[in-house]
Each structure stands twice: as C-alpha cells, then as structure tokens.
C-alpha cells in the first residue's frame, strides 16, 4: 500500500494495518461522522481524517459521505486501511514536562469537570499534539474510559466536562442535542451595551478563507444559532466604552458567541479572528493578553441520578485583574 493518504507525521509505534466495516449502534447514533471517526481513530490527525472522508475512502452504507453527516443506528461505516498508534500510546501518552494538573471542579464515578486554562486545546490534532483530554488520560491512567462531552475553543477558559462511562457520555450528548444544558460565558465587548437582556437569533455558516483557515459568518442561509446576552457591567466613561456581558448559549455553533457579537457591532475583546485588531493591540498594552471569553457555568441533569447539577469556574485571575483595572480607570 502506498500514497499520501496513509503517510502522516507524528505517529510512533505503528501497529497493524486493517480495513473495518463498523455498524453504528444506539450509543453512536446521532453523532457527526467526523466526531465519530476522531473518537474511533484515536491518534490519527484530524486533517488526515477529513482527507480520507473527502476522498471517498470513508463510506456510509456503501455511499460517499460528508464529515457533517449524522449517523443512524444500523449504518455501516467503511474505514479504509490506516496505520494506527498502539492502544498503550493512545490511552496513556507521556505528559510534557512542566505540565500542571488541571483544577478539578467536580468529580464522581460518572463525570469529571475541570477548569481549562486559555491556550490549551481540548484535544490533540490540527497541529496540536497534546490537549486537555490527553493530559487527563496520562495523569489518570486508572480511568479506563475518559471522553470529552463537549468542546471549548483553545483560547476559551472555563468549565470542561468529561465522561468516565460511555452511558454518561451518550446521555449527555442527548442532553446537548435536546438543548437542555445551561451554558453560560463571561464576555467583555467593545461598546456601550444598552439592553439588560437581548436574544440574538442570527444564522451562521462556516467557510474557508483564501489561506485555508476555517471561519464563520452570519448568513441567512446558515444554521440556526441563538444566544441570549445579559448586561452585567458597563464602563461608558472609557474610550471606547466597554461592557461585561453574560452569554447564554441555546445552540452550540462554531465561534457562535464571537461571530454574533461582531455581527452586532460589539466585538469581543482580544478576539484575533473576528475582533478589531488595532484595538486588540491596544488592549495588550493595557494588560489583556488573551481573548476575554470564559465558560463560567454549566448546568445539566446528572446522567445517572437525574439531579440538576451546576458546575462553576470563577473568572481567571488575569481577567479579573483587568476588570479591576477598568473600574479604577472609570473612577478616575
């Protein structure tokens, strides 16, 4: 076998080469094909997974598939020959030196919630060799099962939830699809926000830039996206005025909060994709060296007991210090 589709960097201790035809059961039903493949083909770069799907090597029920296709129970997914890392390396990678343990916000026999810092990807891939889930697996080798329930952008800090049992994972994925999870974020924006509460329903669509980078924009033909913003504090005397908001996500589209805010004319502080770049540079000089987006609360029904559970992560010290600085400047 030869060809670029099976040659990629970063793979060690390569094991056997094989072809698989996997039947989708109820636990995997409803997942996007790309997400299913990333969980099934642990250690295979994300870019490689997208390449084999788009080339037609991955098929659903014998037909070509798209990464965004949702799987149904009984579907047969063909996975082409791939070189995969050994199970030992996949489940228990070596933690890079100097890596600090992630603060645990909640843990029981079903779930693990940690406070993810900004700058740490939630999983490896797309140029990132080591993410939060790999770090946790390495630091907690006694856990036979540990999977991400949801994702946060690399530069977003806050509550990150993982499942320690497959039944917990499938139950929480169902809750995410049904919209019964309460997701709240702290955001700092440019401009004077007037409404105490504002519901934003602006469809979003993903696209590739000329450089091949993924971006999102407001588009009437895009996917439904709903965010509710609550005004928490405003500094009208500053130039430009700034506003601290709480964002409640009703849907979970890529970069949803960031694109909704830019579309409304209130760009997110420190946003290097959709923000005001000259303003971001000025903010760095004033002490804000990251994007001001923090997942501060996650509320959901426990997948085993059904009890409502709320997990919170306080604002990181660097963001709180910047807010304190704004308040002092406003008083002056």
Residues classed as catalytic: 153
Q: Residues 149, 173: contact at Cβ < 8 Å? A: yes
Q: Residues 15, 86: contact at Cβ < 8 Å? A: yes
Residue among 140, 111, 127 nearest 47 (CA): 127
Residue among 162, 16, 49, 180 nearest 102 (CA): 162
Residue among 256, 285, 288 nearest 269 (CA): 288
Cα–Cα distance for residue pair 197/181, rounded to 1 Å: 19
Q: Which two tokens stand for residue 302?
A: 């426990």
Cα–Cα distance for residue pair 231/240, rounded to 1 Å: 17
List, in sequence order, every residue forming a beta bridge with 248; answer none if it has no partner: 184, 228
Q: Residues 233, 244: contact at Cβ < 8 Å? A: yes
Q: Supply angle C-alpha 245, 316, 148, rounded to 5.
A: 90
């Amino acid at each position: 076998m030869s060809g670029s589709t099976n040659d990629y960097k970063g793979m060690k201790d390569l094991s056997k080469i094989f072809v698989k035809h996997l039947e989708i059961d109820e636990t995997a039903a409803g997942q996007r094909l790309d997400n299913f493949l990333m969980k099934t083909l642990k250690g295979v770069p994300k870019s490689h997974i997208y390449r084999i799907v788009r080339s037609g090597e991955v098929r659903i029920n014998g037909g070509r598939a798209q990464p965004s296709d949702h799987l149904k129970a009984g579907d047969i997914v063909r996975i082409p020959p791939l070189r995969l890392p050994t199970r030992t390396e996949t489940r228990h990678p070596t933690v890079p030196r100097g890596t600090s343990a992630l603060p645990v916000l909640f843990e029981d026999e079903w779930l693990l919630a940690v406070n993810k810092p900004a700058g740490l990807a939630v999983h490896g891939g797309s140029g990132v060799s080591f993410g939060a889930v790999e770090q946790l697996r390495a630091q907690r080798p006694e856990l036979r099962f540990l999977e991400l329930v949801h994702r946060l952008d690399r530069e977003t800090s806050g509550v990150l939830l993982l499942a320690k049992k497959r039944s917990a994972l499938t139950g929480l994925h169902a809750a995410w699809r049904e919209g019964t999870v309460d997701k709240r974020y702290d955001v700092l924006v440019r401009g004077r926000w007037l409404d105490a509460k504002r519901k934003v329903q602006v469809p979003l669509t993903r696209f590739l830039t000329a450089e091949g980078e993924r971006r999102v924009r407001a588009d009437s033909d895009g996917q439904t996206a709903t965010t509710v913003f609550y005004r928490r504090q405003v500094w009208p005397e500053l130039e430009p005025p700034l506003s601290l908001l709480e964002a409640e996500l009703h849907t979970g589209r890529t970069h949803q909060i960031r694109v909704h805010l830019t579309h409304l004319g209130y760009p997110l502080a420190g946003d290097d994709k959709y923000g005001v770049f000259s303003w971001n540079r000025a903010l760095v000089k004033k002490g804000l060296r990251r994007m001001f987006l923090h997942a501060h609360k996650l509320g959901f029904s426990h997948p085993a007991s059904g009890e409502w559970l709320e997990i919170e992560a306080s604002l990181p010290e660097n963001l709180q210090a910047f807010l304190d600085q704004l308040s002092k400047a406003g008083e002056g």
